[in-house]
Amino acid sequence: MALIHHKSLPDHSTLLSGRVPPDDIGFQSNQLQIWYNNTNESWVGDGEVPHCHTSSDECFIVLKGAIEVEVEGARTIIREREFCCFPVGVYHAVTKVFPPVETLMLRAPSVEDKIYQLARSKNGE
C-alpha cells in the first residue's frame, strides 16, 4: 500500500475517499469518506428530507459559493470559507445550493448509517 495518495482536485464532483471510489482520483478507506462537489448546478432536489447518522459525524466545508442547511427547522447559510458540522444523531439536510459551488463533505467513520426523519403531518402526528 502506498504511503501517500496525492492528486490534484478534479474539475468535477467525485468521491475522494470512501469504501468504493468511482475512479482513480479517490482512494479506498473504511474509516473516512470525503465527497468533493465542484459544480455549476445544484445537487439538491425539492423537499430534501432531513437525515442523521447513527455512527458517524459529518462536516461540510464550503470552498466556493454557498449552501443552506437545515437543523431542527432552522436554516443557516454556510458561505465561502466557512464550515458546519453535524454530530451523530443530529437530523440535518442541505436545502439549497448556490452555484457555482465547491465543497468538501467529510464523514467518519465511513459506514452505512444514514436514517431519514419521518415526515410529520400538519397537525403534528
* pLDDT at 118 (0 to 100): 82
* pLDDT at 123 (0 to 100): 47
Specify whether the CB–CB gap between 48 and 93 falls below 8 A.
Answer: yes
Coil vs helix vs strand at 116: strand
* pLDDT at 50 (0 to 100): 94
In a domain, 24, yes or no: yes
Provide the domain limits for residue 74.
14-116
Cis peptide before 87 (omega within 30 of 0): no
In a domain, 4, yes or no: no
Task: Record the pTM.
Answer: 0.88
* pLDDT at 78 (0 to 100): 98
* pLDDT at 45 (0 to 100): 81
**For position 69, which CATH number holds?**
2.60.120.10
- Residue written as grid cell 470559507: 81
**Distance separating the N- and C-terminal Cα atoms of the chain:** 53
In a domain, 123, yes or no: no
In a domain, 121, yes or no: no
Per DSSP bridges, beta strands 74-79 and 82-86 are unpaired
In a domain, 9, yes or no: no
pLDDT, one tens digit for every residue, the chain (125 residues): 578 999 999 999 999 999 999 998 999 999 999 999 999 999 898 778 899 999 999 999 999 999 999 998 899 999 999 999 999 999 999 999 999 999 999 999 988 899 999 865 444 44
* Domain count across the chain: 1
d(CA 79, CA 33): 22
> Residue 67 pairs with which residues in a beta bridge?
78, 97
In a domain, 63, yes or no: yes
